[in-house]
Structure 1
Amino acid sequence: MAWALLILSGLLDVAWAISVKMAEGYSRLAWSVLSFVLLAAFIYALGKALLVLPLGTAYAVWTGIGAIGSIVVGILIFREPATFVRLFWIAVTLSGIVGLKLTST
């Protein structure tokens, strides 16, 4: 269950990043409010996951989910560049996340 909460928190983090971008400097009320709701939700889920999971592993995995998810969303939705170098480092980050998951309890 803790891993599911951690993954959920990472995905909420990606949604939060999207909402912050869409809030345009917090000038758009609905997106701004959504960003605060998502922020609270991902912190809550992360906190619950940290009751069980080791801090270093959980935080690294959570950060990786947020980073990779945000990059992928940036490429797919916001038309950011998908260069070989960016994709390579996404793969390296993903392999680190998988390694941490496989080697932790």
Structure 2
Amino acid sequence: MSMSQPSEQELLQNILQPLLVDFEYWFSRSTELLESKQISFLSPSEQADLLDRVRRAQQEVNVAKMLFQAVGGQAGIEPSQMVGWHQIVTECWHVSMQLRQSEQSKIGE
């Protein structure tokens, strides 16, 4: 029994669509964190800059998702664009981990 190779459109639907949903989720969480907490190890301008970059990336993901849906999954996204989004998500993860560690160390004092 031979297995047929998925089409490009199937690959895009199965990989890209969930990836866009993940980016939406992480950018939403990051926005919530950066808007609700004053992060002591970031200067106010660093925190504002990160929040601006997250919001911009969030808008880009929303546009990409709408375009992807509008063309019926027949278009991809430039990999360099997704690398940039991933870098922002990774930066936010690091901020979140560092914040959690600093809050836990304050509890232990």
* TM-score bracket for this pair, using the shorter chain length: 0.3 to 0.5
TM-score with structure 1 setting the length: 0.42
The structure number with the bigger radius of gyration is 2
